Amino acid sequence: MQRFYFNDKQQFAQLLVSFNNVSEKFSKKDYDTDKALKQLLDNAIKVYKEGGFSDKESQLQVLRAELTSVEKNIHPLTYEKVLVRKGEMRTSICLKVLQSLEHLLRNDYSYCTDKLQEARDMISQILLAGLQGGLLTDTLLDSTNTESELQKLWKLLSTDGNLALAQRRVLMSVSIYDALLLLEELIGSMLKAGLKKPKPSVLQLKR
């Protein structure tokens, strides 16, 4: 079963917003930076755990453990008790944690974006081929305004052998929910390009 990349991307985007807020606190040397960073890590660990990313959850748990060591005035890299310049150690480790977290979140957000763009390109070609082959019409696209109608349109496209093969390629890359959301987006873009009024989203992100 393919991942639901729209859902993953949304969650990574939310974590990145929180990350930016914590980074700003760090830059301003706010008194509650440590607390905010720990909360961000806890939230990220929850997202990765619930998403089944056990390897990346482990990476985040290591970062969380480093902050715990700092709280005990133990350097997380040398495991030695720090008696002087504790503030410098705390700042150094917080920066390291922030850099590691930013790298992880950016990479995963970009990965989801790339997967969806790849699927979007394929579905765009499927729609164009459907229009050129007479399976689809402007009227049919304009009347597709519910989730069930999107599913029917997707099934209609599968009646063409070549398009069915292309659909299978899409579903080897993303989930059916991603495919339907992308289908809706592309139909809206086509209608808008044809100077027709775009419709509001009829699909909701599902877990």
- Clarify whether residues 93 and 126 are in a common domain: no
| pTM recorded for the entire structure | 0.87
The count of structural domains within the chain is 2
Nearest to 6, CA basis, from 124, 177, 167:
177
Alpha-carbon dihedral of residues 183, 138, 165, 114, nearest 10 degrees?
-30
Q: For residue 200, is it within any domain?
A: no
Q: What is the pLDDT of residue 203?
A: 62
- Clarify whether residues 96 and 28 are in a common domain: yes
Alpha-carbon dihedral of residues 155, 188, 140, 157, nearest 10 degrees?
-20
- Clarify whether residues 84 and 133 are in a common domain: no
Q: What is the pLDDT of residue 198?
A: 42
Q: For residue 207, is it within any domain?
A: no
- Clarify whether residues 164 and 125 are in a common domain: yes
| pLDDT in single tens digits along all 207 residues of the chain | 789 999 999 999 999 999 999 999 999 999 999 999 999 999 999 999 999 999 999 999 999 999 999 888 888 888 788 878 888 889 999 999 999 999 999 999 999 999 999 999 999 999 999 999 999 988 899 888 889 999 999 999 999 999 999 999 999 999 999 999 999 999 988 888 763 444 555 565 554
Alpha-carbon dihedral of residues 26, 29, 30, 34, nearest 10 degrees?
50
- Please count the other Cβ atoms lying within 10 Å of the Cβ belonging to residue 195: 6
Q: For residue 203, is it within any domain?
A: no
Give SS3 for 94: helix
Q: Where does a domain end: 113, 129, 157?
A: 113
- Clarify whether residues 106 and 24 are in a common domain: yes
Q: What is the pLDDT of residue 2?
A: 84
Q: What is the pLDDT of residue 195?
A: 39
**What is the span of the domain harbouring residue 155?**
115-193
